[in-house]
């Protein structure tokens, strides 16, 4: 089922929004209008449609948007986001107005700020690297010459709908104050509402408004606002689904970047277990309590045993001193992880497991009294998703990954895939 739909006026805009969805684990596709409208979307979670309407006459753009909206309505209960150029090229007012008409919206919240890329909106004016839009080289674009940095003025040239402006002093007070202010604006009737944003936190505030007490509305903006929206709603989608436990047994350095990506994006928390300690003894009770607490709070959790090359060197040194040969050290650590995972699944409700490293995966399965894995499909090339076969945890979701496989977002996609397929256990 399509969870998200993006309407963008060019292919690059469609793609830079779709990639954010992919980063959070949603299987995404970019479609060109009109040739993509007949493509089967059954295996996707999100679609980003390039209307290719930026440089065409306004009436033609209006007609295309109507057809795209009709197409999206057939997909059912879908979150719609209108992607626009952060420098305000295109038929923005016309396209917003048409979407509002097609979906019977009273308001559209518009914020094209992208502070991470030096693009902010203050008092309704768009600044790029602290320079007003109309004074930048972009303003001299022959197709879209811009003489004014004041965005309400630009919009009024393209639509007859009323334009309201929410300045930064309101946004800076947080989502509740912003919601209350938007509620007052809604009493005036139908309008396009432009909102200031000067820092990344402002985008998070905008997407955190309480839509339940406001008239129907959509968000519209650049990739900056879409990132904040997708991050928030993606976390809400998964809020009531049990967490995923990730065991990173492989020492391949590639896994560090994958783990760092999850932690940096607040998709999962990490607990590091010193590998030398694991060679000497089982995981201590305090560490187990800490792990169980994180999972009970609903957080996805990554257990790692190797952070840097230094950790690998310390293991090798310890093995030499103790006379532990070849791969015996990895085998011992895998046995300790086996006991740990067995204890965790007894204590916590999980939506599934993700395990890297063949030796670690083998021990985890044996510790759960499983005889194997029913392989269903790939999350990415070489990263299979399946169900545990046999034992007390029969039919539990599991994804395995060899150490050197997977993109930086592979665990994010794997978590999303497991949670999407979680059906609970009898």
Compute how many other C-beta atoms are within 10 angstroms of the C-beta atom of residue 129: 9
Structure tokens at 173: 């007070």
Residue 195 and residue 230 share a domain: yes
The span from the CA of 269 to the CA of 262, in Å, is 8
Residue 254: the pLDDT is 76
Structure tokens at 194: 């432009």
Q: The domain spanning residue 77 has which CATH number?
A: 3.40.50.10840
pLDDT in tens, the chain (426 residues): 788 999 999 999 899 888 888 777 678 899 999 999 889 898 888 999 999 999 999 999 999 999 999 999 998 877 899 999 999 999 999 999 999 999 999 999 999 999 999 999 999 999 999 999 999 998 888 888 888 999 999 999 999 999 999 999 999 999 999 999 999 999 999 999 999 999 999 999 999 999 999 999 999 999 999 989 987 776 655 556 899 999 997 777 778 888 998 898 888 999 999 888 888 888 888 889 999 999 999 899 999 988 777 877 888 888 888 888 767 888 898 899 999 999 999 999 999 999 998 889 999 999 999 999 999 998 888 899 999 999 999 999 999 998 667 788 889 889 988 988 887 543
The span from the CA of 133 to the CA of 184, in Å, is 30
The span from the CA of 347 to the CA of 340, in Å, is 11
Domain housing 120: 4-237
Residue at 372 is within a domain = yes
Question: Element (H or E) spanning 33, and its range?
Answer: none
Residue at 121 is within a domain = yes
Residue 395: the pLDDT is 93
Residue 384 and residue 363 share a domain: yes
Residue 233 and residue 248 share a domain: no
Q: Which residues contact 15 (CB under 8 A, 6 or more apart)?
A: 30, 48
Residue 238: the pLDDT is 57
Question: Element (H or E) spanning 272, and its range?
Answer: strand 269-272
- Last-in-domain residue among 237, 270, 295: 237
The span from the CA of 91 to the CA of 155, in Å, is 9
- Last-in-domain residue among 200, 217, 237: 237
The span from the CA of 248 to the CA of 353, in Å, is 11
Residue at 425 is within a domain = no
Residue 208 and residue 99 share a domain: yes
Residue at 412 is within a domain = yes
Residue 166 and residue 299 share a domain: no
Residue 220 and residue 338 share a domain: no
- Last-in-domain residue among 237, 253, 282: 237
Structure tokens at 191: 């309008």
Residue at 26 is within a domain = yes
Residue 105 and residue 224 share a domain: yes
Residue at 413 is within a domain = yes
Residue 323: the pLDDT is 86
The span from the CA of 421 to the CA of 377, in Å, is 12
Residue 146 and residue 69 share a domain: yes
Torsion from C-alpha of 123, 124, 129, 133, nearest 10 degrees: -130
Residue at 426 is within a domain = no
CA distances from 3 to 59, 161, 226, 335, 397 (A): 29, 29, 14, 41, 22
The span from the CA of 88 to the CA of 132, in Å, is 13
Residue 259 and residue 229 share a domain: no
Residue at 50 is within a domain = yes
Residue 425: the pLDDT is 40
Residue 19: the pLDDT is 85
Structure tokens at 331: 């085998």
Residue 257 and residue 225 share a domain: no
Residue 265 and residue 195 share a domain: no
Number of domains, the chain: 2
Q: Buried b / exposed e across 275-285, counting CB within 10 Å, b at 16+? A: bebbbeeebee
Residue 426: the pLDDT is 33
The span from the CA of 195 to the CA of 165, in Å, is 6
Q: The domain spanning residue 373 has which CATH number?
A: 3.40.980.20
Residue 10 and residue 76 share a domain: yes
């Amino acid at each position: 089922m399509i969870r998200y739909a993006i309407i963008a006026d060019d292919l690059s805009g469609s793609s830079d929004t779709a990639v954010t969805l992919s980063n959070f684990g949603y299987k995404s596709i970019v479609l060109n209008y009109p040739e993509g409208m007949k493509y089967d979307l059954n295996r996707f979670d999100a679609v980003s449609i390039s209307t290719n309407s930026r440089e065409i006459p306004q009436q033609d753009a209006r007609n295309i948007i109507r057809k795209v909206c009709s197409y999206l309505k057939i997909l059912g209960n879908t979150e719609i986001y209108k992607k626009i150029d952060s420098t305000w090229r295109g038929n923005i007012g016309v396209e917003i107005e048409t979407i509002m008409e097609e979906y019977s919206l009273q308001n559209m919240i518009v914020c094209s700020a992208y502070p991470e890329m030096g693009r902010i909106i203050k008092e309704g004016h768009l600044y790029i690297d602290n320079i007003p839009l109309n004074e930048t080289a972009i303003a001299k674009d022959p197709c879209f010459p811009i003489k004014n940095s004041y965005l309400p003025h630009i919009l009024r040239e393209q639509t007859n709908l009323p334009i309201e402006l929410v300045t930064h002093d309101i946004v800076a007070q947080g989502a509740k104050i912003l919601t209350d202010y938007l509620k007052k604006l809604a009493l005036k009737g139908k309008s396009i509402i432009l909102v200031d944003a000067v820092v990344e936190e402002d985008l998070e505030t905008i997407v955190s408004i309480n839509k339940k007490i406001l008239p129907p509305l959509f968000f519209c903006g650049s990739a900056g606002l879409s990132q904040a929206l997708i991050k928030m709603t993606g976390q809400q989608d998964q809020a009531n689904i049990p967490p995923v436990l990730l065991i990173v047994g492989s020492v391949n350095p590639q896994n560090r970047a994958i783990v760092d990506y999850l932690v940096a994006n607040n998709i999962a928390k990490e607990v590091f277990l010193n590998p030398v300690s694991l060679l000497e003894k089982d995981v201590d009770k305090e560490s187990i309590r800490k792990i169980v607490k994180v999972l009970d709070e609903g957080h996805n959790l990554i257990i790692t045993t190797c952070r840097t090359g230094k950790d690998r060197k310390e293991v090798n040194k310890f093995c030499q001193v103790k006379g532990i040969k070849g791969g015996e050290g990895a085998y011992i650590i895998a046995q300790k992880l086996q006991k740990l995972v067995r204890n965790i699944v007894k204590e916590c409700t999980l939506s599934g497991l993700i395990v890297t490293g063949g030796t670690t995966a083998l021990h985890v399965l044996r510790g759960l009294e499983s005889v194997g894995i029913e392989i269903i499909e790939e999350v990415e090339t070489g990263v299979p998703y399946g169900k545990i076969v046999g034992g007390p945890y029969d039919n539990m979701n599991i994804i395995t990954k060899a150490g050197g496989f997977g993109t930086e977002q592979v665990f994010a996609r794997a978590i999303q895939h497991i949670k999407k397929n979680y059906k609970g256990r009898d």
